[in-house]
Amino acid sequence: MSDAQTLRAYGNEAKLAAERPDTLDYIHTAKRGLTKRTVEEISSMKNEPAWMRENRLRAYETFLQKRGPAWGADLSGIDFDDLYYYLKPTTGVAKRWDKVPSTIRNTYNRLGIPEAEQKYLTGVMAQYESEAVYHSLQDKMSKLGVIFTDMDTGLRKYPDLVKQYFGRVVPAGDNKFAALNTAVWSGGSFLYVPAGVHVTFPLQAYFRINKEKVGQFERTLIIAEPGSFVHYVEGCTAPQYTSGSLHSAVVEIIVKKGARVRYTTVQNWSKNVYNLVTKRTFVYEEGTMEWVDGNLGSRVTMKYPSVYLLGRKARGDVLSVAFAGNGQHQDAGGKAIHGAPETTSTIISKSVSKDRGHTSYRGLVRVPAGMRGCKSNVVCDALLLHPQSRSDTYPTMDIRESDVQIGHEASVGKVGEEQLFYLMSRGLSEAEAMSMIVSGFIEPIAKELPIEYAVELNRLIQLEMEGSVG
């Protein structure tokens, strides 16, 4: 079997694993719909401290009062009263794969997560519906003081750290979906890297929605102390149903002086999921934050990873790629807020629209008066594969200081007949030529990924491209 055939066979198997629902009896299923009682039930199930319970209830009231965004993608298909807000699949979090229930473990085996853990990763957190079912961390990292666990365990074992930072970067009042997450959050990752510690291989979190009409609301908090480094990788799947599901996560990251955090997402939700996520970082003096954000699945995505540069010479990079097929709207981009002098940001966004797919770039760069010596460069490129495809660009540059260097480039293009002819004259089919052109278009993003994730991104692109010609 050739490499291409092997890649295709593996890709199809992983795709089947992603789209095939598991048959599972849940330990606990909350009544459908969101009420104050639902919020209290979740907090009670987790035996939380009073401050977190009160935090949830305040956020619930904020959610009721806040309106959803009047811009961006169409969210009218979300029925908040027809969702399950909490499903508990197991009795606890396993530290060995053989302790995870076989139905759940088989799905992760088909997705290749345990194999990747052995070869490439320092640790893994796997979440199924509302709760983590597995987590691990290499002993040598634990001995250096690294904490990597699910958020619920983090709250129980490290309450002072969680209380200090929870909601500091993304408060509940930030937007309607941040309020919803704060009210009903469950699972997610808690990652703490002590000063000067470099985590040499990535840590991975994998999120799975299995049941129909489920809301998944993980909460992730990452704290990188001065001079530390960590690379966190996130993946996700859900089966295809006729009705929609909702994924509304919040990710908060604190990058302290001289620290560096890279956060990589290769998203592959099924095409009935509304993916509405708030991801934000505070970066302090000489710190570096890198978002690498791949958006291929979901019915609707609205996601704009943000960097708030709060210390002199802090740096933030956002690399985003979005692929929208028929019936999908990928509304993605990035934000850079320069809150200190001599800070630097880069936002590079690539989007591909196939058939009637719809992509949008939505970005913001803000430099207040007095923030001298800041630099920012924004590049957003869109590729349209068919006459019915659509791409929009909504850049906002709010620059109040003259002593800065700001760049912005944007382009929209179609696949050229000359490109196709040249590749087809070398023996490629039209579909293979089209796929190669798309892979070349997203190459600036793919090359920033570890090789195994670059392979996964290209594999997903190839699967999305199937049937795109003819």
pLDDT tens for the chain, residues 1 to 470: 433 444 444 444 555 555 567 777 788 888 899 999 999 999 999 999 999 999 999 999 999 999 999 999 999 999 999 999 999 888 889 989 988 988 888 888 877 888 888 888 899 999 998 999 998 999 999 999 999 999 999 999 999 999 999 999 999 999 999 999 999 999 999 999 999 999 999 999 999 888 888 999 999 999 999 999 999 999 887 877 767 789 999 999 999 999 999 999 888 888 889 999 999 999 999 999 999 999 988 999 999 999 999 999 999 999 999 999 999 999 999 999 999 999 999 999 999 999 999 999 999 999 999 999 999 999 999 999 988 999 999 999 999 999 999 999 999 988 878 888 899 998 888 888 888 888 888 887 788 777 777 777 777 777 777 654 43
Whether residue 266 contacts residue 293, with contact meaning beta carbons closer than 8 Å, is answered with: no
- The whole-angstrom separation of Cα 358 and Cα 354 is 8
Q: How far apart are CA 293 and CA 262, in angstroms?
A: 11
Distance between CA 296 and CA 328 in Å, rounded? 9
pTM of the model: 0.92
Q: Nearest 5 degrees, angle CA 119-CA 122-CA 127?
A: 95
Q: Distance between CA 377 and CA 258 in Å, rounded?
A: 22
Residue in this structure with the two tokens 């530290």, named with its chain if needed: 95
HSE of 116, CA atoms in CB hemisphere, 13 A: 25
CA distance 221 to 427: 49
CB-CB neighbours of 339 under 10 Å: 18
Residue with tokens 């104050």: 36
Integer angstrom CA distances of residue 1 from 5, 8, 111, 181, 262 = 6, 10, 21, 46, 35
